[in-house]
Amino acid sequence: MWRQWPGVKPAQERADLIAYLRTLSDHPLPLPQRAKEAPAGPRYGGLPAGEGREAVYFTCRACHSLDQFTGHHLSREGWDELLDEMIAMNGMAAPEPWARELMLDYLGAYFGEREDRDWAGLPPGPGREEVYYSCSACHSLMMVTQQGLSRDRWDETLDWMVEEQGMDEISDLALRDLILDYLSTHFGSG
C-alpha cells in the first residue's frame, strides 16, 4: 500500500520501486531499454536496433512487407489498437502477453508519435484517459497506481472519495464502470 512509501516521488524513485517489485515476480517482463549501438549482424530489414526488433520483424513480416507499417507513426496505444485490428480482422495470431508488450514498447519507441504522452505512467487500455482526468485532480496518480484492490474495493474507495474526500460523484454509470474496469484490471488484487 502506498502509505508504506510515504516519500516516493515520480521518475527515479518510481523506477527504483518498479525495479524492486520486478525482483518479486517469478516472470518479470523485460524492461524497455534504450537503443544500443547497432551490433554487427542481422539487419532485420533495416528496422532500427532495439529491444523487440526481432519480435516485430518475425511477427509482422509474416503476411506483408515491413513497408506496410514503417511509414506509420502511432502512439503506443495506437499500436495497441492496431494489433487488435490485425488479430480481429487480418488473422494474425494473438501474441503471448510478454511478446505483445515487447512489440508495443518497440513500436511505440521507434514508430511512435512525437507528442506521445505517457499519461503519468498509467498503462494503456480502455479507461486510461478517464482515470487520468478523474483521479489526478486532487492527488498524484501514484496514490492510485500503488494500490492493488479488487473491483469491489475500488468501488468502495470511489464511494469514500466522494463521501469523505470531496470528489464529484461519477453519475454516468457507464463511465464509472469503465473506470472501475480499468482500475481493477491494472491495479487489481491478483
DSSP, collapsed to helix, strand or coil, labels residue 4 as helix
Nearer to ligand HEC, 29 or 138 (CB): 138
Nearer to ligand HEC, 23 or 46 (CB): 46
Separation of alpha carbons 106 and 56, rounded Å: 8
* Shortest distance (Å) from residue 111 CB to ligand HEC: 8
Q: Yes or no: say if 30 and 22 are a contact pair by the CB < 8 Å rule.
A: no
Nearer to ligand HEC, 109 or 158 (CB): 158
Q: Yes or no: say if 161 and 151 are a contact pair by the CB < 8 Å rule.
A: no
Interface ranges with ligand HEC (CB under 6 A):
56, 59-60, 62-64, 68-69, 72, 82-83, 86, 90-92, 103, 134-135, 137-139, 143-144, 147, 157-158, 161, 165-167, 179, 183
**Dmax (CA) of the chain:** 61
Residue whose C-alpha is closest to residue 50's, from 66, 34, 71: 34
Query: φ, ψ for residue 118 (rounded to 5)?
Result: -100, 5
* Shortest distance (Å) from residue 20 CB to ligand HEC: 20
Nearer to ligand HEC, 16 or 81 (CB): 81
Nearer to ligand HEC, 6 or 40 (CB): 6
* Shortest distance (Å) from residue 129 CB to ligand HEC: 12
Distance of CA 105 to the CA centre of its chain: 9
* Shortest distance (Å) from residue 188 CB to ligand HEC: 13
Nearer to ligand HEC, 4 or 23 (CB): 4
Q: Yes or no: say if 161 and 153 are a contact pair by the CB < 8 Å rule.
A: no
* Shortest distance (Å) from residue 14 CB to ligand HEC: 16
Which residues lie below 8 Å from residue 111, measured CB to CB, with a gap of 6+? 69, 70, 72, 73, 74, 79
* Shortest distance (Å) from residue 95 CB to ligand HEC: 8
